[in-house]
Chain A
Amino acid sequence: MDERRYLSPALLGSVVVIATSGLIYELIAGTMASYVLGDSVAQFSFVIGLYLFAMGIGSYASKHIEHDLLRRFVEIELAIALVGGFSAPVLFLVYTSAGAFRAALYSVVLLIGILVGLEIPLLIRLLEYRLALKDLVARVLSLDYVGALFASLLFPLVLLPRLGIQKTSMLVGLLNALVALAATFLLPLEHGRAWRMRAQCVLVSAALLVGVVVFDLYALRREATFFGAPIVYSTQSPYQRIVITQSRQTTRLFLNGQLQFSSDDEHRYHETLIHPAVAALGHAPKEVLVLGGGDGLAVRELLRYPAIEHIILVDLDPAVTDVFRNVPLARALNREALLDPRVTVRNEDAFAFLDVTTSNFDLVVVDFPDPGNYAVGKLYTLSFYQRLRQRVAPRGVAIIQTTSPYFARHSFWMAAETIAAADFEVLPMHVHVPSFGEWGFVLAGGPGMKAPETLLVPESDLRFISAAELPALFRFPKDMERVKVGINRLNDQPLVSIYTEEWDQWQR
């Protein structure tokens, strides 16, 4: 067989692959940068600029490669497979720290750019004796641009939605490695060397395949489908799995698979959580305690009151509060509320905190995940609310997240009844949050607490709550009316099973 017959078509075919994959890696880098660092225009601009510049470096450096051009060509292809293929997983691993992420991002882009930049001049030189210069340049460059078009259509329309960013990265890497492997058969390489290079190709392909399998094993892909949008941040703390997803318009936080907020309608939830409670208090609070709420969104609403002197936020999981203090995307959502000098973040167990603190608070905001298990369920018991009662100042109020009075009606009223049993006057409330459905809170305070009629914050600052809408929050239509269900105690916790049953019914 005359191997040389295949040389030109093979080399030209690989131009398309290199161009396509190079641009896909660039798009992956740009996408991840805009997820993590925000400001997608700037991030894409930086990534593209750096990538083109790196290609220039590569092209220039290509003049130093003088011998064994075919071998070098395959080796570089393999290097692209390795660096590009693992670019997304590597960036994913350094997600938490904005500094490390930037360093990794720009190194990856620079490296891929240089490698791709080396490859095109090398190709031209390999083909220089087979085609006239005008044909050569015309073919190589046009194929290069065709590849770019391919990539820019394929990535947003097929790869990202179907495979997700991680798998796209590794599978495109695999494609590069397979092209390199094919090249060892099609290109006239010295026999012994060819085998050695084939072995390398197989090793890189295997590594990438293992990457894909491991990735599948860890169910990240399944989660991506489950969460309905690409995951941009995910970590497992000792207490829970934390996932942030980002689609075109919305950012969502999930704890153990349970939606905590969606950026497009969380204002309804958090405005309702904070402003009626402050209004019921009758004056802007000075000392505020927030239990749970590590996303800082409730604190963001509280900081609208200039009179507030000190907010203590107690959230068990430093993994949550760290994200909302450090990751730019998350920090933007709470408007850097957790970095405000008036805010003290304490990563402690709320139950234990209430035991040791001796302070009294004008306002206590209780915003825990729903009572879906016995550990969180402890924070919905009589014992917990009795401790809470001790820490609410004589004329103070507490506002407590108590799941949906519509989907989990018995759960909601059991929480309300338990709060009342801890010697609180209670005013149950509800609001419609599109991503959650009907949601409920219990406003709790001392004797004579009245439902608020006016707000203590300029209505123009708010997107949802207004004084005119306040009465509706406290009116419960027939299908959410009070039901008598009993009290939730630590040694029984009927709330957990009732809650689980009620939600299971809706998910069926």
Chain B
Amino acid sequence: MGPVAALTRRDLLAAIGAAWLVDVELPARRPIEGALLGASHRVGHKLRDGAQAATATRVERADVVIVGSGASGASAAWRLAAAGVETRLLELEPFAGGTSAWGEDGVVAHPWGAHYLPAPNPSALGTLRLLEEMGELTGWDAGGNPQFKEESLCHAPDERLFHGGQWHPSLIPASALEPNDLRELARFRDVRNRYRTLVGRDGRPAFTIPLSLSSRDPELLDLDRMTMAAWLDREGFHSQFVRWYVEYATLDDFGANLTDVSAWAGLHYFCARKLETDQLHGSHYLVWPEGNGRLVKHLLGRMHGHREHHQLVTRVESIRDGVRVSALDLRGSAPVPRTIEARAVILAIPGFIARRLVAPAVAARLTPRASSPWVVANLHVTRPFDPNHAWDSVLYDSPSLGYTDAGHQRTRPSEQTVLTHFRAYGSPNVEATRADLIGRGWASLASDVLLDLAPAHPELADSTSRIDVMVWGHAMPRPRPGFLNAAGREPLETDPVLDERIAWAHVDQSGYALFEEANTHGIRAAEHIAHVLGVNAGTSWL
């Protein structure tokens, strides 16, 4: 053995040592990819800023045009299909579903917005019909209550809360709370149970779904005159935890802080769900990987006619025996103007957009609503499989709503999944928030998500390969105090008719974004249009 061998041996040992050090201290880290998606505010704002279509060279004809493919528009198309009516669906976005949009890239489909449906009340007839058609409703028990497909109810464990540096197996970390918190929680539960079964003087339930079936008892409607925060004060709920818990709910359903939401809406959230069956002893949330996108997919799958994306509708006006729809086709490099003359039109879009399309007299019938901005992020992660992972993970003391696991309903264990992170911006100053969000880039929004989750998941960046972010400038109507009277008609009364052959189907009508509301408004508008067209749509689905 000469010096060369000695050198080799030393080199080898050095190499082993170096490799070990590198392996331990410098794990190779791939950069996180991602994209910023968003309801097309740039295109949409063209309309706000007065974009007008040039005249189309030819006029297309259609039976019924539906503008907007969210839950309302899809429900209308579904209802009309059952009456044998053909529809043409015009959608601005490249994707369908509105705020029930979903993604299918990655290991599992995932929601971009509305991500669960609480088991609907027996009174939500349209939605129950839909679920039955989908096979999600499997039958009715002796008490007349619906039974659901067990696999679609959120598998246990459904939720957990990160509080005081650790996970608790429910949103209420009983072991970590002060006696006063627990007393107030118990009292809140009592109030909730009272309202759940309370019947107003008009014989209607105090709170139910669809909203329009709720009681008009003035004493109950008075709750709409104050904010949820004021109501909590009045009722003596001062526990920080209880107020966090209630605000989590108002953010989740309305995107609003306690100080900017009607107490009627806040209590409705807690007290409107009535269904109690053996089956719903556990979670009563219907959860699919793509969230409520699953419902929209089915609705759209049943429609007669077809759907066109990248269509910016600029004008909807009544003409003799019909409606003229002007639009810009944005599919190509330059916008192409088109004109469609339809026998009738359903506007399944928010009021603030619809009023820019129609004649001023018609616009007056549209209810203006404040809307809450949201940011939704989908994180594609690979990490060790946790057999006890909850569907919904919430962080106490975080401005976000936490995240859900899109892969939760799979039975096959997997290390790969998509986590959907939700943040609603609940402050009263929605315009400033929107302006700020629109100005921010992907990197800033994505790192916000990681920072938000860092207390519970400091290593998350290492297991994440992709973060896509969606900014929803106008995610949902915000039921501010007085929202029940904002429609310019009697509280809780809605009317789909905008003009002779133009109907409106949107949750802005109730001011409250629930799938059942969207579905109900879609069906109601469709049945009205069928009637106008003289089509026999059979008995009402509502």
Number of interface residues of B (CB under 8 A): 32
- Asked whether B158 lies within 8 Å of A491 as measured between CB atoms, the reply is yes
Q: Chain B CB within 10 Å — which of A204, A316, A491 has the most?
A: A491
Q: What 0/1 readout, one digit per residue, does chain B (379-391) give for beta carbons within 8 Å of chain A?
A: 0000011011100
B157 in contact (CB, < 8 A): yes
Dominant SS at the A interface? helix
B16 in contact (CB, < 8 A): yes
Query: Which residue of B is nearest A350, CB measured?
Result: B411
- Asked whether B158 lies within 8 Å of A374 as measured between CB atoms, the reply is no
- Cα distance A72–B2 in the bound complex, in angstroms: 11
- Shortest distance in angstroms between B168's beta carbon and chain A's nearest beta carbon? 14
B397 in contact (CB, < 8 A): no
Number of A-B contacts (CB under 8 A): 83
**Could you say which interface size class chain A belongs to?**
20 to 34
Contact of B10 among A200, A377, A490 (CB under 8 A): A200
A2 in contact (CB, < 8 A): no
- Asked whether A316 lies within 8 Å of B279 as measured between CB atoms, the reply is no
Q: What 0/1 readout, one digit per residue, does chain B (278-316) give for beta carbons within 8 Å of chain A?
A: 111111100000000000000000000000000000000
Query: Which residue of B is nearest A377, CB measured?
Result: B156
- Asked whether B413 lies within 8 Å of A238 as measured between CB atoms, the reply is yes
A1 in contact (CB, < 8 A): no
A373 in contact (CB, < 8 A): yes
- Shortest distance in angstroms between A93's beta carbon and chain B's nearest beta carbon? 15
- Asked whether B388 lies within 8 Å of A491 as measured between CB atoms, the reply is no
- Asked whether B153 lies within 8 Å of A238 as measured between CB atoms, the reply is no
- Asked whether B387 lies within 8 Å of A374 as measured between CB atoms, the reply is yes
- Asked whether B153 lies within 8 Å of A316 as measured between CB atoms, the reply is no
Q: What 0/1 readout, one digit per residue, does chain A (417-443) give for beta carbons within 8 Å of chain B?
A: 000000000000000000000000000
A468 in contact (CB, < 8 A): no
Contact of B412 among A349, A383, A489 (CB under 8 A): A349
- Shortest distance in angstroms between B13's beta carbon and chain A's nearest beta carbon? 5
- Shortest distance in angstroms between A493's beta carbon and chain B's nearest beta carbon? 4
- Shortest distance in angstroms between B276's beta carbon and chain A's nearest beta carbon? 14
Given contacts A374-B155, A381-B150, A492-B283, contact A352 B20 (CB under 8 A): no
Dominant SS at the B interface? loop
Q: What 0/1 readout, one digit per residue, does chain B (493-506) give for beta carbons within 8 Å of chain A?
A: 00000000000000
- Asked whether B156 lies within 8 Å of A493 as measured between CB atoms, the reply is yes
A41 in contact (CB, < 8 A): no
- Asked whether B412 lies within 8 Å of A491 as measured between CB atoms, the reply is no
- Asked whether A378 lies within 8 Å of B155 as measured between CB atoms, the reply is yes
A158 in contact (CB, < 8 A): no
- Asked whether B411 lies within 8 Å of A207 as measured between CB atoms, the reply is no
Contacts of B415 in A (CB 8 A): 238
Contacts of A496 in B (CB 8 A): 156
- Cα distance A355–B389 in the bound complex, in angstroms: 24
- Cα distance A375–B389 in the bound complex, in angstroms: 9
- Cα distance A200–B17 in the bound complex, in angstroms: 12
- Shortest distance in angstroms between B170's beta carbon and chain A's nearest beta carbon? 12
A203 in contact (CB, < 8 A): yes
Contacts of A207 in B (CB 8 A): 13, 16-17
- Shortest distance in angstroms between A61's beta carbon and chain B's nearest beta carbon? 13
15 more A-B residue pairs beyond the given contacts A75-B1, A238-B414, A490-B155, with a C-beta to C-beta distance below 8 A: A200-B10, A349-B412, A349-B413, A373-B387, A374-B156, A376-B387, A381-B150, A489-B281, A490-B150, A490-B282, A491-B153, A491-B154, A491-B158, A492-B283, A493-B156
What is the interface of chain B, defined by CB distance below 8 A to chain A? Answer: 1, 9-10, 13, 16-17, 20, 150-151, 153-158, 278-284, 384-385, 387-389, 411-415
9 smallest beta-carbon distances between A and B, as pairs: A492-B282, A375-B387, A349-B412, A351-B411, A491-B153, A373-B387, A493-B156, A491-B282, A383-B150
The 29 listed contacts between A and B (C-beta, < 8 Å) are A75-B1, A200-B9, A203-B13, A204-B13, A210-B20, A238-B413, A239-B385, A316-B413, A348-B412, A349-B411, A349-B412, A351-B412, A373-B387, A374-B155, A374-B387, A374-B389, A375-B385, A375-B388, A377-B156, A386-B150, A487-B278, A489-B153, A489-B282, A490-B153, A492-B156, A492-B281, A492-B283, A493-B156, A493-B282
